[in-house]
Chains A and B, each alone.
Chain A
Amino acid sequence: MALLSIRNVFKSYFLHGKRIDVLRGVSLDIEKGSLVSLIGASGAGKSTFLHVLGTLDAPAAGEVLFDGRSVFSMNDAEIAEFRNRTIGFVFQSHFLLPEFTALENVAMPALIQRRERTGAYTYARELLERVGLGQRVDHRPGELSGGEAQRVALARALVLKPAVLLADEPTGNLDPATGEGIHQLLREVNRDLGITAVVVTHNETLARSMPRRLRLAGGEVSEA
Chain B
Amino acid sequence: MSDYLIFFTTILAAGVASGTPVLYATIGEVFSERAGVLNLGVEGMMLMGAVTAFRVSHVTGNPWLGLAMGILVGGLFSLLHALVSITLRGDQVVSGLALTFVGFGMSSVIGWPLIDVRDAPRLPAFDIPLLADIPVLGKIFFQHSVVVYIGFLLVPLAWFIINRTRPGLHMRAVGEYPAAADALGIHVDRLRYLYVLVGGLLAGMAGASLTLAITPLWIEGVTAGQGWIAVGLVIFAGWDPFRAAFGSYLFGAIRRLPLDLQGAPVLPWNLHLILRDPLLNYFTNMLPYLFTIAVLVIGSREAMRKKLGAPAALGTPYIRGERGV
Partners in one complex: no
